[in-house]
Amino acid sequence: MNEVATTLTLLSRQIGREDRRLAILGEGNTSAALGDGTFFVKASGCSLSDLDESGVSRVKMAPILSALDDETLDDAGVRSVLENSRADQSPKLPSVETFMHAVCLTEGGAQWVGHCHAESVMSVLCSEHGAKPFLGHIFPDAIVVCGRHVAAVPYIDPGLELAREVRRVLREFRAAHGVAPKVILLENHGPVALGASDKEVLNILLMLDKWARVLAGTLAVGTPKFLPSAVSERIDQRPDEHYRRAQIVKGPA
Ligand SMILES: [Zn+2]
């Protein structure tokens, strides 16, 4: 079995660990680029917590990306795109979020992607505040691990429509900030982590989980005290934080 597929199952199980409360049952999905016009993505209906290689599909990038520009596709059309995009004989259908993963692995510049329904992050994203409390920072480590800015997407029907909106938001984000985000927050849904490695994806999700819990705590106690923009910029630019970021990509989770 391909080493990337094996690593993807290990990352998935880390995200799906019951004690972490990031995903239960079939929630969430993961992917990894292979650099040859294909990528691995979790198969539909499989659980992250016990994912093995039989729950990973290898998918061709081109038909998935062309579907994003095909306005004529209905639900049956989307299913047939997913069926025909399989690059091997896998009997399992790729996740319906394969389209969003393809966008993150191309427009988002990620090599590894993890999406989950973290209870903590959803507590904020499903509130009247939506993604807004995440648009400012309240402590330095969130800037180092999750990036200076995060991208936010309003609630959209999962699947092709959501992938189109994520693509639009990623393009807008790149135009505004010159880089891709490490985090996309899907309102009333959950977070997506975009990483250069499997370890970075896990670390982003763990830090985001902490950030959300701290945020919910500050909202319960009073009002979050946001760091001034200049302070957040400074933390983002510090050379020692660049070093820490490099360790986050490489180092143990
Ligand atoms: Zn989801």
Q: What confidence score (pLDDT) does residue 185 get?
A: 98
pTM reported for the whole predicted model: 0.94
Number of structural domains in the chain = 1
Output the DSSP codes for 136-180: S-SSHHHHHHH-S--EEE----TTHHHHHHHHHHHHHHHHHHSS-
Q: At which residue do the structure tokens 């917590």 appear? A: 49
Q: What confidence score (pLDDT) does residue 110 get?
A: 97
Q: What confidence score (pLDDT) does residue 1 get?
A: 62
pLDDT digit string (tens) for 44-87? 999 999 999 999 999 999 999 999 999 999 999 999 999 999 99
How far apart are the CA of 193 and the centre of ligand 1, in A?
12
Burial class (CB in 10 A: 0-12, 13-18, 19+), 23: buried
Q: What is the mean pLDDT of residues 230-242?
A: 84
3 CB neighbour count, 10 Å cutoff = 7
Q: Domain of 210?
A: 3-250
Q: What confidence score (pLDDT) does residue 132 get?
A: 97
How far apart are the CA of 23 and the centre of ligand 1, in A?
9
Q: What confidence score (pLDDT) does residue 100 get?
A: 98
The CA-based dihedral angle spanning residues 75, 79, 81, 85, taken in that order and rounded to the nearest 10 degrees: 160
Report the candidate in 111, 116, 12 with the shortest Cα–Cα distance to residue 54: 12
Phi, psi of 87 (to 5 degrees): -90, -10
Residue 238 above 90 pLDDT? no
* 23 band by pLDDT with thresholds 50, 70 and 90: very high
Give residues with Cβ within 8 angstroms of 168, minimum separation 6: none
How far apart are the CA of 8 and the centre of ligand 1, in A?
17
What mean pLDDT, rounded, does the chain reach?
94
Q: What confidence score (pLDDT) does residue 89 get?
A: 80
Residue 90 above 80 pLDDT? no
pLDDT digit string (tens) for 118-135? 999 999 999 999 999 999
8 A C-beta contact, residue 216 and residue 124: yes
Residue 253 above 60 pLDDT? no
Residue 249 above 60 pLDDT? yes
How far apart are the CA of 197 and the centre of ligand 1, in A?
21
How far apart are the CA of 240 and the centre of ligand 1, in A?
35
How far apart are the CA of 241 and the centre of ligand 1, in A?
31
Q: What confidence score (pLDDT) does residue 251 get?
A: 58
8 A C-beta contact, residue 127 and residue 81: no
How far apart are the CA of 172 and the centre of ligand 1, in A?
22
Q: Which of 26-30, 90-94, 122-126 shows the lowest mean pLDDT across its residues?
A: 90-94
How far apart are the CA of 28 and the centre of ligand 1, in A?
5
pLDDT digit string (tens) for 93-113? 999 999 999 999 999 999 999
Q: Which CATH number fits the domain that encloses residue 80?
A: 3.40.225.10
Give residues with Cβ within 8 angstroms of 231, minimum separation 6: none
Percent above pLDDT 70 for the chain = 98
Q: What is the mean pLDDT of residues 205-213?
A: 98
Q: What confidence score (pLDDT) does residue 239 get?
A: 75
How far apart are the CA of 113 and the centre of ligand 1, in A?
13
